[in-house]
Amino acid sequence: MIEPTSGQNIRHHEGAGCFASSDVFSLSQRRRLSAVRILFLLVLAGVCVRLCFLHVASKYKFAEEDVYHIGKAVIQAPRGDIYDRGGRLLATDRETYSLSADPRRILSQNVEAHVLAARLHLLLGLDEEDVYERLTRRTANGSPYRFVWIKRWLTSEEVRLLGDPAQLAKEGLSLEREPTRYYPEGQLAAHVLGFVNREQIGGEGIEALYDSYLQGKQGVRVARKDAKRNLLLSQTLDYEPARKGDNLYLTLDSSLQSSLEKALDEVLVRCEAERASGVFLDPATGAILAMANRPAFDPNEYWAWPEENRVNRVMVDVFEPGSSFKIVTAAAALEEQCITPDDLVNCEGGTYTFFNLRRIRDVHRMGIVPFRECFAESSNIAMIKVANLVGPVSFEEWIRRFGFGEATGCGYRPESSGMLAPRSQWTKLSMVSLPLGQEVAVTILQLARAYAAIANGGYLVRPYLVEKIVDADGKEVFRHEPEPPRRILHEETAATLRELCHEVVTHGTGVYANIPEYRVGGKTGTAQIARPKNEGGGYYEDRYTAVFAGFAPLADPRLCGVIVVRSPMRKPYYGGYVCGPVFKKVVREALIRMNCPPDPVQVPVKTPAMPVADADAGAQRLFLQPMEVAEDEQETDGFVITHPFPIEVKADSTNEPRLPDFRGLTKRQAKERIVSLGIQWTSRGSGWVVYQDPPAGTPLYQVSVCRLYFSNTRLGLEHETTGTTISGKNNISSEG
């Protein structure tokens, strides 16, 4: 056998040594290898987790350099539309163009900003310096802006004048599409609707109150951008469409609304008044059918009108209602059975002093007449006496029962609650002022709701403006559910008050509101405007608020409304003369459109040649200074007692024809004498004349109707000599 050489042995041993060395360090190597494997697995797991997160946890996560090629655009959602009760469109959205500029591009393309500003000044009527400032606007670090508005909401004519959009782009200008609120009827119902500002947020009115419903849900588009940073629609990565806002259906009747606004415009011109307002309700439900104020504004360009023109004065302004408030006095007395329509009330010949402090004067002088006639002629003296039969405790309850002193709760904001002091703050003379509609301030809507309670049979309803809300898919999301009305009067009392209000229109102060085809009930009022405290307080001598409140037709009232005109400067300024014709015109047109069955007036109504003055036309002036008590007056139970019959007017030295004394004559004798004078007359009772109104000695030119009262026992003449008062279960004597 050949022996291996020494070199071979050396290599053999080296190899064996290697193997021996591997056996020695194998444990440490294995540990290193395990650590490397674990580290590799952790890195791999982290990569897997990151990949899963990018694909699952987020819709779009791209490489950092790819983010600069992705853009996101918000899609504006159109607001919901607003309709009237018949589906007539009152407010909607439409797309319009707005002009913007890119100052950075203007600078890079060497466009002469001052030349461009001068051209935009000529085309769009903008201020040249302001436009130049916008075109050259820079950030705090001196870099030009990328985007500025030049003019929002361009008209179609302005877009035409600007020319080709491609040419505008070369100058750094751009026409941007954006939604804007549009009111197709212009000023119609502007105070109800309100307006939407440039940020598409409701500013006032229904637009603000129901902004959360009207606002739509914005959409979004994510897409790749081109080199000019414009989104590539073909490279859309995600798209969520915009959702239109909900549609509102109001209770307004556009035809009635239009008639009311036109009539208010006319009365402003006819009477040279400061402003005028009106509201009409459905008395059965409280639905507001029309609400208007003049002057008005156009919500399409709300910024172009004075802010005071945007105030909804039907809801906000308060005023002393004057004689229109006397329905509260009459309702309280009738409901508590303090009086009946035919009970006699001594109106003291037209002048009376209460509580030895204040003398009250009636415009229409009367003596002892039935309460229905006191109401028709709006006797201040009679209404104060009647209210004091009710008493201050009950009278305050009745005022609040009619809803005065609190907001109507119609959902419109802002809404005033009016002003009514608690009884603890009343003075002794409050029961002289309040029955006449003084020391109380009301809103037009409060007064309309009170008259609606008379019209609907005694229920106090809650007015409302929104009938229903429907979403973009046609699903109804809200419908007005009227709460059960609160009864405040018996049906019989309400019916009596309707008849009394009708007599106001047929032969009282409201004759200018008479509609031959439909019986109207209502009440007039003329109140002096209170002077602010910073001007000394009291009342203005020559500024009045004219009022007419009423309902029609009497058989089945379908409309109830109030017309108020502030500061009519052209005389006469009485509520019946100023506001009555407005009510008549609006209501007559509306009832004919509604195909309302005729309810013709049953008695002849003659419109006087001279306007009929309201009883409270100058009443406040009498309240400014305490009056001294006459020598022939005495105070009993809080009231000043005078003769039960008016003192006869003495003839002066002139030859002016005057009314003779009919007392003691039979009906035949009185008829012969009064007919010979050529004046109208009415009679009550039989036997001999015991009382006449107006009193003997009144100039004949002041007498429109002479009222004669007859008795079989000639009690009237005995009363005049003995000074006693008329007695009876329900009669109201001069004791009040």
User: How far is it, in rounded angstroms, from Cα 585 to Cα 578?
Assistant: 12
Which of 571, 589, 622 is the endpoint of a domain? 622
Contact status, residue 360 vs residue 351, Cβ threshold 8 Å: yes
Residue 438 has pLDDT above 80, yes or no: yes
The H-or-E segment that residue 238 falls in is strand 231-240
In angstroms, rounded to a whole number, what is the distance separating the alpha carbons of residues 389 and 732? 9
CB atoms within 10 A of CB 58: 9
Range of the domain at 688: 643-722
Residue 711, domain CATH: 3.30.10.20
Asked if residue 19 and residue 154 are part of one domain, the reply reads no
Domain assignment present for residue 462? The answer is: yes
Beta bridge partners of 639: 354, 636
Q: How confident is the model at residue 718 (pLDDT cuts 50, 70, 90)?
A: very low
Contacts of 652-657 with CB under 8 Å at 24 or more apart are 656/699, 656/700, 656/701, 657/699, 657/700, 657/701
Percent residues over pLDDT 70 in the chain: 83
Note whether residue 627 is domain-resident: no
Q: Say if 727 falls within a structural domain.
A: no
Average pLDDT, the chain: 83
Mean pLDDT for 563-577 is 92
- The distance from CA 425 to its chain's CA centroid, rounded to whole angstroms, is 30
Separation CA 699–CA 522 (nearest Å)? 31
Residue 186 and residue 290 in one domain: no
Q: Which of 282-286, 288-292, 321-325, 670-674 has the lowest mean pLDDT?
A: 670-674
When comparing pLDDT for 17 and 485, which is higher? 485
Query: Among 17, 35, 58, which residue terminates a domain?
Result: 58
Tell me the per-residue pLDDT of 26-39, one tens digit each, with 9 for 90 and over: 787 888 888 888 88
Secondary element (H or E) of residue 539: strand 539-552
Q: Higher model confidence: residue 21 or residue 429?
A: 429
Laid out side by side, the sheet with 70-75 consists of: 70-75, 219-225, 231-240
Instruction: Tell me, yes or no, whether 463 and 323 share the same domain.
Output: yes
Domain assignment present for residue 141? The answer is yes
The domain tally of the chain equals 4
Residues 264 and 241 in one domain: no
Q: How much is the average pLDDT of 137-149?
A: 90
Question: Is the domain of 470 the same as that of 564?
Answer: yes
Q: Are 572 and 501 part of one and the same domain? A: yes
175 vs 717, which has greater pLDDT?
Answer: 175
Exposure string of 303-326, with b = 16+ CB inside 10 Å and e = fewer, is eebeeebbbbbbbbbbbbbbbbbb
Domain-ending residue, one of 215, 250, 285: 250
**Bridge pairing between strands 148-151 and 89-101:** antiparallel
Is 239 a member of any domain? yes
Q: What is the mean pLDDT of residues 442-450?
A: 97
Dump pLDDT digits (tens) for 267-278: 999 999 999 999
Q: Give yes or no for residue 348 having a pLDDT over 60.
A: yes
pLDDT digits (tens, 9 = 90+) for 589-640: 999 999 999 999 988 776 665 566 666 654 444 333 332 323 233 222 223 2
Residues 218 and 367 in one domain: no
Model pLDDT, residue 62: 53
Asked if residue 728 belongs to a domain, the reply is: no
Whether 175 and 310 map to the same domain: the answer is no
CA distance 423 to 395: 10
Token pair for residue 455? 């019209």
**199: CATH:** 3.90.1310.10
**So what's the pLDDT on residue 87?**
95
What does the pLDDT read at residue 56? Answer: 64
CA angle, 433 as apex, 432 and 439 as ends, to 5°? 150
pLDDT at residue 22 greater than cutoff 90: no
Say if 438 falls within a structural domain: yes
The answer as to whether 733 is a domain residue is no
Per-residue pLDDT tens over the stretch 370-393: 999 999 988 999 999 999 999 999
What percent of the chain lies above the pLDDT cut of 90? Answer: 53
Instruction: Let me know whether 235 and 265 are in one domain.
Output: no
Q: Are residues 516 and 588 in the same domain?
A: yes
296 within 8 A of 309, measured Cβ to Cβ: yes
Does 319 score more than 70 pLDDT?
yes
CATH of the domain at 286: 3.40.710.10
- 493 and 567 share one domain: yes
Question: Once rounded to an integer, what is the mean pLDDT over residues 639-665?
Answer: 53
CA distances from 595 to 149, 249, 467, 581, 589 (A): 53, 23, 22, 21, 10
Instruction: Name beta bridge partners: 202.
Output: 196
Residue 250 vs residues 89, 261, 287, 639: alpha-carbon distances, Å: 10, 17, 9, 51
* 3 state SS of 394: helix
529, with CB counted inside 10 A (0-12, 13-18, 19+), is: middle
| pLDDT at residue 489 is higher than 90 | yes
Residues 453 and 585 placed together within one structural domain of the fold: yes
Q: How many helices (H) and strands (E) does the chain have?
A: 22, 30
